[in-house]
A and B are shown apart, each in its own frame.
Chain A
């Protein structure tokens, strides 16, 4: 009977006081907290924690070097091998060694710019670099040498390089200067004959001639063919040519009758392209005697040599404190890391824009929420790389 009275009382309460019925709260959806937006080789990629199965895993670890590493990883919550999708990881090394106690995360995660971690925490690192040098080879094989003579060749490059002897000369230049000229001097001492040839040395131009213009001095004998009557400038290049001799004679030929006992002539030539060259000829000359003829002539070749070299770089801070690592794993599971090679690109940066406390993670560890911007080159284990640009992220890391 009392039970019935109780339920009648409940019923009465429902009828007269039951206006306050429990109902569900209005549905209000939130927005993702953590996200990352990057451009990889020109392709924009975006992930949000909580969208598409992605989750921000926060953690920390202390390595054998007693340096804490704070880590945040955006990847799929649960996945089987080979179907985990893309992931992005940020690792931040502590600002100091922490042998005992806890790290100072306020200092370690302070806003500011940070360098990227180098490949290995060693004292010396071998950095692969590329060097371009210019190999110049000159050959005087085209020269005309008097009979029974061993000529003496002298190569003089206008950039101040050491003078070289020999029929063939080789030079190596780290840079290629403009208006570089080579002067070959050939001396046939026992014949008292000296000849020079000066040419500009230019880089190979696929659309132009293989070599620059040149000129050498030849002799023109009299009608009897016994005596040198004139010297003739023989040019090569783009016609028409202009000539000027050492005595300001403007002509292709220079009359030997101008000389007294010694021929000491020089000629300069300019072609239609503005290329200039020169030649010289010096010998004893006695009227009525055929003079000795010699002519210095050379060809040249310029080769660009790209040399891949390894340069030792001494790492001052082998612990690499306060350095960053950015890692990207593609959909096929291939890992790319900023720490597989040094960042040589000038557009590389990593900046912590802001830091704030956040909720404990799923393991009960404290976390910080970081606002980041970054750009770097990411390498895979095979040495190929991808460019990460315009990276912006709100990531979290855990700390003890």
Chain B
């Protein structure tokens, strides 16, 4: 299966496409069109990130020189364990369930805020290293509720739309953004996903 994650109403300047997920789903048929599904999925969350961690080093030369070092994420990477219950009639399938999400890693950059030559002067983040960065500010685990509809185009292929709700959000509670007003502008608890499922074997 593969999904595109979307927001319908976003904060000012936020993105509407906030990532994707893909993985393997195993379905078990029950009586009267009921089915259960589970699997292992990988989710990549993107969006508009601000610094997740910052230090300010005071050094002196002719005056005070503040070296502001930041960790700035670019994507969040989750492993998901979904458990769903569905009901299918002819081409139509309704499903809902819960997913346990594990934050496997945060990609981003470590860099410094450096003064630009603009007038008036401003500071700009300049990345020094890219890679997996410390996960400060983001929950290691969170739970998501999902409800959706899929239409089976064929015996193997189906498309659908799901509504998702992340309980408690994906940000650590009481963690203040070290720079700016937010860690991730698209940190909405409620989001949609457009789903495509292709059965390799039935």
In the complex, residue of chain A having the shortest beta-carbon distance to the beta carbon of B103: A14
Interface segment among A5-13, A36-44, A117-125, A142-150: the answer is A5-13
- Across-interface contacts of B70 in A (CB, < 8 A): 24
> What is the bound-complex CA distance between A349 and B2, given in angstroms?
82
Interface 1/0s, chain A 4-46, versus B by CB < 8 A?
1001101101110010111111111111111000000000000
Q: Is A54 an interface residue (CB 8 A)?
A: yes
Q: Is B155 an interface residue (CB 8 A)?
A: no
> What is the bound-complex CA distance between A7 and B79, given in angstroms?
12
Interface centre among B56, B60, B131, B134 (most CB of A within 10 A): B60
A interface SS class: loop
User: A23-B134, A26-B55, A49-B61 given. 11 additional CB < 8 A pairs?
Assistant: A4-B22, A4-B42, A11-B79, A14-B104, A18-B105, A18-B132, A20-B132, A24-B54, A25-B55, A27-B55, A27-B57
Q: Is B58 an interface residue (CB 8 A)?
A: yes
| Number of A-B residue pairs having CB atoms within 8 Å of each other in the complex | 104
- Across-interface contacts of A154 in B (CB, < 8 A): none
Contact A22 B134 (CB under 8 A): yes
- In this complex, how many residues of chain B approach chain A with their Cβ under 8 Å: the count is 34
Partner of B42, one of A11, A33, A56: A11
Q: Is A361 an interface residue (CB 8 A)?
A: yes
Known: A7-B42, A22-B133, A24-B110. A49 touches B58 (CB 8 A): no
> What is the bound-complex CA distance between A7 and B41, given in angstroms?
11
Partner of B59, one of A14, A30, A55, A362: A30
> What is the bound-complex CA distance between A250 and B64, given in angstroms?
90
Partner of A28, one of B44, B57, B107: B57
Contact B62 A29 (CB under 8 A): no
- Across-interface contacts of A23 in B (CB, < 8 A): 53, 71, 110, 133-134
Q: Is A237 an interface residue (CB 8 A)?
A: no
Interface centre among A20, A30, A359 (most CB of B within 10 A): A30
In the complex, residue of chain A having the shortest beta-carbon distance to the beta carbon of B70: A24
B interface SS class: strand
Partner of A29, one of B42, B59, B61, B109: B59
Listed in ascending order, the chain B residues whose CB lies under 8 Å from chain A are 2, 22, 42, 44, 53-65, 69-71, 77, 79, 104-105, 107-110, 129, 131-135
Partner of A361, one of B22, B62, B109: B62
Contact B42 A24 (CB under 8 A): no
Known: A11-B105, A22-B133. A27 touches B71 (CB 8 A): no
Q: Is A278 an interface residue (CB 8 A)?
A: no
A–B complex contacts, Cβ < 8 Å, 10 sampled: A4-B2, A11-B42, A15-B105, A21-B105, A22-B109, A22-B129, A22-B131, A22-B134, A50-B65, A361-B62
Listed in ascending order, the chain A residues whose CB lies under 8 Å from chain B are 4, 7-8, 10-11, 13-15, 18, 20-34, 49-51, 54-58, 77, 359, 361-362, 396
Contact B62 A49 (CB under 8 A): yes
Contact A32 B60 (CB under 8 A): yes
- Across-interface contacts of A58 in B (CB, < 8 A): 62
Across the A-B interface, the 3 shortest Cβ-Cβ residue pairs: A14-B105, A50-B64, A55-B63
Contact B69 A25 (CB under 8 A): yes
> What is the bound-complex CA distance between A18 and B54, given in angstroms?
21
User: How many Å from the CB of A175 to the closest CB on chain B?
Assistant: 55
Contact A50 B60 (CB under 8 A): yes
